[in-house]
Each structure stands twice: as structure tokens, then as C-alpha cells.
Structure 1
């Protein structure tokens, strides 16, 4: 009842100010009151989040749709776009022209790598509102906060990475680590910002030393190419040398086994003869003599036989029948 009474008093006061009396003043007051009450109806769009303030102090957040709040000056609503993706360019020249880069801008882009080299890096940061309450009341300038966090994170990640890796195969890894570190820094300050992506656009040495750096890179490329050629030659010659060595080793092993087997056979044959000699010396000696003579005589083309034992005067050569056949026609012709 007190609230209704205060509203009536308020309407009556404004009716007196407008010079309205009686029933006409009451009608105008009612119309004004309805307009004032209806002014509390508001709509939150799908890409927004409603933040209700009561006498300037945060009250609640509401989702998209139709809502009502106490009309001004009791309550008000802020409608930040929480799905809109914002982009921040880090490291580009603030003059907006790549050819008119000042020394200050160039120094801002320069960073120290993990192997104590200097390079210039540029990246694009994409972010949106994650928590409307923190975004509106915990940070004063969101873009400046994102820029500071991005510069700190990128410098820290570059400072852990060698220059060669930063310029070649670790670019995406650097971007992902920068995004994660940025998110950690912003969450620590309750900024209400979500970093969705970091794109590393350019990572180069400073312009003053880029020619010398390119010479060094070409020398490293030549060194790598020479190393690859040497490795290729080694991969070609070493297996062949190992194959040849393995072949020689196998042949030596085969020869060794053959020689050992032959020696063992000869030794067994000798031991067999020796055992026979021990048992019967005369018979064994005569058999060895006969075997030796048989081996000797079967290779001879002429044999001299001394049947009388008188020496060389009784020696008569034995000639092969084939040789006699060759000489027979010559004798007949004579």
C-alpha cells in the first residue's frame, strides 16, 4: 500500500506541475505512469547478455529473450554482445602503413629468443566476452588489457624457443602456447574475456640484419645438404661393405670347416694304418710299399725292369704299344 500511495503522490505532484486538476490530471498522470512502467520492458538479443543494475550496482545477468526491470532511475540494463568475435593486431605499425614503420614500432615488435637472438613477430588475437559481469566491472579498457596480455604471453613463449624453430616448424605451437598463457593471465585478473585463437602472422629477423641472417640460413642449408649427401653415401657403401665382409667371413668359415674335416679324415686314416701296423708290422709295411708303388707306377709311361740284378747292362726299356705303332711304317719304308 505504501508503494501505491507513493506512486499516487508522485503522479499528483507531476499533474500539479503540468497545471492539470481533477479527473483530467489523473488521466494524464495514469498515462505517464503506464509509459514509465512499460519502459522497464526490454529484450536481450541472441548475441547479447543482459546485465541488470539497480541504482548503478550489479544485480543479475539474464539470458536472451524478453525481460522486465524496474524503470529508470531504479534499474537499468547493459547489453554487451557476448558472441561477437573481436580482433586485435599485435606487432603491426600503429601508423597503419607497412612502409612507414617508426623506430619505436619496430622496437615494440622485437623479441629475444631462447638462443639469445632477436626477431620481430606479428600476430592476430581473436577474443570475445566470456563473462559479462567481469568484463564490464573488472577491467576499464578491454582492448588495452588484451594487448598487454598478448604482448607478455608472446614475449615469454618466444623467449623459450630457439629462433630457427620459431621461424619454421614451431609456429603453430607458439601460437597455441601464447593463447593458453593469455587465457591464464586474463582469468587471473577476472577479465571475463575468452581468447579463441592466436594467429602468428610474421616471424622474421630485424630488417637491419636480415641479409646476414639469410646468408647464415643458406650456409646452414648447404651444411644440411652436405650432411644428407654424406649420410646417403654412407647408407649406400656401408651395407655393401658389410655384405662383402659377411661373404668373406662365411667363405672363411666354410674353408675352415672343410680343412678341419679333411685333417680329421687324414688323421683317422693315419691312426687306422698305425693301429694295423702295431698289430702286424711286416704285412702292413709290405701293403704300404705296394700301395705306394701302385700310385707311383700308374702315372709312369715307361718302366725299367732289372730282372737279373746285373745293373744297367741288362736294362731293357719297355715301350708303349702306341709308340711302336707310330714307328712301324717308318721301319718298313726303310
Structure 2
């Protein structure tokens, strides 16, 4: 039977609030809670005014919490670093070194990035604290242009160029840089021959790799600056290392022999050229000498011809005497015409001169020693004068 039907107890479902079995009233629950909070913070009873001391204490606490929350937004950016501020994950600003402030979280957050730190990656090997762990074949083995395989180990140093790009444009900058480096390295090595990679082409390859890495990272806007690329090692695989060393030694021997041959050539060729130049100059000098002598003989003959035409007999005798003097002055033998005799005395003057010279050298005081050939010389002189006088008399 419902409450509003005849014979009912005339009680609605919401009546009986004073009944002991009815649920508590909501207003009473709120007042009870206010009384308890007032007792904790020193406030009055629930029936007091809403402007009592309890609400003031809650205001002070809220203000203090707000101040602490605001202070948590201060942060320090050290020298050589930059702060990247984001608001709900979106970029807001890049802060410089010093004391900075941002709206505290969870509204804004700041990430401090070191832009001067030298970071590096290793491609083809892994290094420990002191010594190299070894090669990583998956990264190190590369194919060259002449279809040879080389083991290349590369180290790349870089630093952050733009903190915003570094933080937002690439998910994992370090991994991206490593993949780009390996790709660029394979391209450069694949365009070069094995001998070029292992010998004189190291510096050129390093410069090409560095330039291409920087170009690719700039196209990604990764905010990375590649500072250096170091070619740690480049060698053939271990399986052919012995044969390759033999080839290197043979190449070095070839180069050594070439250098020795060039040194010998540089020593012999200038001497030969100098000798040839000397011979040419001597021949030129001899040519000039012969021409001059011939011209002199021609001139002398012309002068003699003029004198001969003037006095043939006198010129003929004078030419005869000059010729005999020229012939006899080269001989050590002297012929003496003895007066009044038909025989010509022969004096071995060369032997007498040699004997006299030996005696002079063997004598201690050779300045006082008289020459042995002196009497003969005097006799020759007197006989010569006598013969000359006789010829003059006959001539007259």
C-alpha cells in the first residue's frame, strides 16, 4: 500500500528526518567537517562566521604554497650552456647563462643543454677507458671502388650549434649522426681505390667525409656542428693482412730503388753535362787559337814577302839562321867547328850537364863549387868567335 492511499500511514519517503534510522542530513555533515577543520587550525565552531581565523589560516597557507610554487620556477644556466623553455611541450624561448625564471611546472619546463661540450661518436670500433676494445665488422668493413674490402675506423667530434634545433628537430641526435656518418663514409670510401684510402688519400677522405656529414646534418636542422673527423685506422681485413704487408714492402723497395736511381742520375748527369760543356769550350778556344795563329802566320808571311822582294839574299839567310836556331834550341847536343881542322867536334853536353848537376847537388856548399863544364864552354865561346871572324873576313 502506498503512502498516499486510504488507510496508509500518510508518511512520504522523505519524512521522518527525526527518525533514528534515517540517513544523516548533508548540511549537518558539512557543518561537522567545518568544525573539525576549525579545531585543527584554531578556528571557531561551525556556527561561527565565515570570516573567522580558520579561513584566514587557510589563506595564509595557500599564499605560502603559491610563493613556493613560484620560487620553483627559478633556475641557473651555467656558462657554455643554454636553457630551452617549453610550455606544455611547445617551444617558448632559449635562455642565456645566468639566473632565469619560467612558469613553474606543470605549465612550463626548462632543459639545460651544454653547447660547448665536445661530444664524439665511434664508427667501426669501440674504445674502453684506456685501450681499444676492437673492430666492429658490421660498421668497419667497407667496399672500395676497385672492389676491395678495407677495415676503416672513424671517430667524429661534434658540439651543439643550436640548442632549439638539437632539442626538437631530431629525436636522437647522437644516433642520427652515427647513421649519417656511416652512410657518408661508405659513399666516400666506395668512390676511392684501396691504395688511395690506405696511403696518400687519408687527409682528402677525412675532409670529404666531414663536409658531407655537416651538409646532411644541416639539411636535417639537427643543430649539430661537426668539429673534427679522425681516421683512427684503415687497413685490409685480418685474413689478407700478411699478403698486403708483402705488397707494401715490395712497393717500398720499388720506391727506394727509384730514389737511388734518381740520386745516381742527379750525380752523373750534371758531371757529364759539365764535361761536355768543358770540351765544347776547349774546342772553341782551340778554334780561336788556330785561327789566330793562322792569321798571324799569314801576316808574317806577307811581311816576309815584302822584305824578300827588297833583299832576297839577306832575307833568305836570315830565315835560314832563324830556322836553325829553332831546330837546334831543342837539342842538348852542341857541334863545335874547330879552327884549322876538317873534323867537327861533338860534345855530349847533356851528359856533362847532368854530371855537373849531380856534383853540385852532392857538394854541401855548392855556391863555391865551380861548374865542371866551364872550360868547355869557354873554349866553345872562343872558337865560335874565331869562326865568326873568319867568316866575316871571307865575306869581305
Do Structure 1 and Structure 2 share a fold, with TM-score over 0.5? yes
Q: Number of residue pairs matched? A: 290
- Paired with 1:240 and 1:41, the residues of 2 have a C-alpha distance of 85
Larger Rg: 2
- 2:238 matched residue in structure 1: 207
Q: 1:53 aligns with which of 86, 90, 93?
A: 86
- 1:126 matched residue in structure 2: 157
Contact 2:336/2:346, CA 8 A, preserved across alignment? no
Shift of 1:41: 2.0
- Paired with 2:336 and 2:134, the residues of 1 have a C-alpha distance of 116
Contact 2:78/2:98, CA 8 A, preserved across alignment? yes
State yes or no: 1:85 paired with 2:114. Answer: no
SS of the aligned residue for 2:99 comes to strand
CA change 1:192–1:229 in 2 (3 A) is: same
After superposition, what is the alpha-carbon deviation per residue over 1:266-318, rounded to whole angstroms, capped at 9, x for unaligned?
A: 111223344556xx4xx454345324543576659599xxxxxxxxxxxx984
CA change 1:297–1:131 in 2 (3 A) is: closer
Shift of 1:165: 4.6
Deviates more, 1:37-46 or 1:251-260: 37-46
- Paired with 1:293 and 1:38, the residues of 2 have a C-alpha distance of 138
State yes or no: 1:319 paired with 2:343. Answer: yes
- Paired with 1:131 and 1:296, the residues of 2 have a C-alpha distance of 109
Unaligned runs of at least 5 residues, structure 1: 1-15, 304-315, 327-334
- Paired with 1:196 and 1:317, the residues of 2 have a C-alpha distance of 119
- Paired with 1:322 and 1:220, the residues of 2 have a C-alpha distance of 82
After superposition, what is the alpha-carbon deviation per residue over 1:122-147, rounded to whole angstroms, capped at 9, x for unaligned?
A: 02112222211101110011111111
- Paired with 1:270 and 1:128, the residues of 2 have a C-alpha distance of 100
Contact 2:125/2:133, CA 8 A, preserved across alignment? no
**CA root-mean-square deviation:** 3.6
Unaligned runs of at least 5 residues, structure 2: 1-33, 39-53, 329-333, 348-375, 377-396
- Paired with 2:320 and 2:117, the residues of 1 have a C-alpha distance of 117
Shift of 1:49: 1.4
- Paired with 1:322 and 1:219, the residues of 2 have a C-alpha distance of 81
SS of the aligned residue for 1:66 comes to strand
CA change 1:276–1:287 in 2 (3 A) is: same
Q: 2:317 aligns with which of 286, 290, 293?
A: 290
State yes or no: 1:268 paired with 2:299. Answer: yes
- Paired with 1:115 and 1:41, the residues of 2 have a C-alpha distance of 61
CA change 1:248–1:44 in 2 (3 A) is: same
Contact 1:302/1:319, CA 8 A, preserved across alignment? no
- Paired with 1:151 and 1:322, the residues of 2 have a C-alpha distance of 110
Shift of 1:100: 8.1
- TM-score with structure 2 length normalisation? 0.63
Q: 1:181 aligns with which of 194, 212, 235?
A: 212
CA change 1:37–1:253 in 2 (3 A) is: same
- 2:73 matched residue in structure 1: 40
SS of the aligned residue for 1:87 comes to strand
User: Larger relative contact order (C-alpha < 8 A, sep ≥ 6)?
Assistant: 1
- TM-score with structure 1 length normalisation? 0.73
- 1:4 matched residue in structure 2: none
- Paired with 1:221 and 1:56, the residues of 2 have a C-alpha distance of 62
- 2:182 matched residue in structure 1: 151
- Paired with 2:260 and 2:204, the residues of 1 have a C-alpha distance of 31
